Structure 1
């Protein structure tokens, strides 16, 4: 198992609709994959942009693909100010 971190930029004006869509896709993923997602942001924005991070702890192989499909269904791409970046971390033994 691994933890998946996804970060991206959001325009201040798009935060409310994006928050709704991300929460909806995270509820879907929690129900279908048994994950406990989190949504975070940096405390301060800069130049009208915020940095957000989605955290998906203890996910299995193939979860990143399921996440991308859920993002497509939620149509979040138009609300982003740039690409989504995925990072995977595992526990140290």
Structure 2
């Protein structure tokens, strides 16, 4: 299992139109894939842009592909400025052996 973090820029003028689309997409994913979802934003705006982040904790690696399809179907790209960047994180192992890295 991985934790998937996806962040992107949104024009402040588009935020009100984008929010319900993202929330609907996440609700559908939560129901169909039985995953937890979060939607966050940075508290500050720069140059008329907000930074938003979708968080999907404890999902299978294949979830990223499902998310791409859901994003396309929801038409999110029309309201996002620039690319959606995805980052994957895993839990640190509690007490790794000398042969393992902390994230292995």
TM-score grouping bracket, smaller chain normalisation: over 0.9
Q: Distance in 1 between matches of 2:57 and 2:6?
A: 11
Moved over 6 A (4+): none
Compute the RMSD of aligned alpha carbons.
0.5
Q: Distance in 1 between matches of 2:29 and 2:52?
A: 18
**2:61 is aligned with 1:68:** no
Structure 1 regions of 5+ residues with no counterpart?
none
State the TM-score, normalizing by the size of structure 2: 0.88
State the TM-score, normalizing by the size of structure 1: 0.98
Structure 2 regions of 5+ residues with no counterpart?
94-104
Query: 1:17 Cα deviation (Å)?
Result: 1.0
Which string of whole-angstrom CA distances, capped at 9 and with x for unpartnered residues, describes residues 41-81 of structure 1? Answer: 00101010000000000000210000000001100001011
1:52-67 equivalences under 5 Å are 52-67=52-67
Between 1 and 2, higher relative CO (CA 8 Å, sep ≥ 6) is seen in 1
Q: Distance in 2 between matches of 1:72 and 1:81?
A: 15
